[in-house]
Every structure is written in structure tokens, then in C-alpha cells.
């Protein structure tokens, strides 16, 4: 029990961020017209590509003889980049279709 409470105190900053972000995430989605559901999902998809930062860190820390870290890290960077780049590009394409309409 003590360890658990210590853990919370130690990580309180992160815990605050998590709690606040949950509320922000919910608020920000608020009133979305159903026609934007899919582009929004795509945009959110691209944003969670931020996981690539972790992949970069893994890749960057890998020692030259740690083949597992090098190979898996490389794969992780590739996949993460696909998520980020592909995600933003596809979202942009989806929204392009709405451009003419909304600009009135």
C-alpha cells in the first residue's frame, strides 16, 4: 500500500496531466457534426502517431551491438512514421473534399 501511495506521489505530475487530458479530450470533441466523424477519427489517428517519439528514443539509445534494439527500433520508427505521415495526409485528403462546401 505504501509503495502504491509513494508511486502516486512520485508521479503526481504525470497523473495530473493524464486526468486533465482526459477531460480536455472529451471537451474538445463536444459537438461534432456526424459528417466530420471520419476525418476527426483520421486526425486523431495521426496525432497518436506521437508514439514515434518513443521509437526515436529507442533507436537513438540502442548500442551498436544490441541487434534486437537496432532492428526492432528501426521497424518501430518506420511504422510510427507511416502512422504520422500517412495519417495527416489522408486526413487532409478527406477534408479537401469538404473545402469547397465550407468556404461560402
| Candidate list 1, 9, 12, 52; residue touching other proteins; CB under 8 A | 52
| Candidate list 1, 2, 5, 101; residue touching other proteins; CB under 8 A | 101
Q: Does 22 bind other proteins (CB under 8 A)?
A: yes
Q: Could you tell me the smallest distance in angstroms from the CB atom of residue 1 to other proteins?
A: 13
Reported as half-sphere exposure (CB side, CA atoms, 13 A), residue 19 has a value of 6
> Residue 30 carries which DSSP code?
S
Q: Does 16 bind other proteins (CB under 8 A)?
A: no
- Measure the CA–CA gap between 78 and 73, rounded to whole angstroms: 9
| Candidate list 1, 5, 12, 74; residue touching other proteins; CB under 8 A | 74
Q: Does 67 bind other proteins (CB under 8 A)?
A: no
Q: Does 54 bind other proteins (CB under 8 A)?
A: yes
Q: Which three cell numbers stand for residue 32?
A: 461534432
Total site size for other proteins, rule CB under 8 A: 83
- List of long-range contacts for 34-41, beta carbons under 8 Å, 24+ apart: 35/98, 38/94, 39/91, 39/94, 39/95, 39/98
Amino acid at each position: 500500500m505504501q509503495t502504491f501511495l509513494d508511486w502516486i506521489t512520485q508521479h503526481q505530475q504525470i497523473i495530473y496531466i493524464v486526468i486533465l487530458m482526459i477531460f480536455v479530450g472529451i471537451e474538445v470533441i463536444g459537438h461534432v457534426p456526424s459528417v466530420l466523424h471520419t476525418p476527426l477519427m483520421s486526425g486523431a489517428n495521426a496525432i497518436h502517431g506521437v508514439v514515434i517519439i518513443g521509437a526515436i528514443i529507442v533507436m537513438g539509445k540502442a548500442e551498436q551491438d544490441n541487434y534486437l534494439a537496432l532492428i526492432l527500433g528501426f521497424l518501430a520508427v518506420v511504422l510510427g512514421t507511416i502512422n504520422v505521415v500517412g495519417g495527416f495526409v489522408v486526413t487532409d485528403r478527406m477534408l479537401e473534399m469538404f473545402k469547397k462546401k465550407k468556404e461560402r
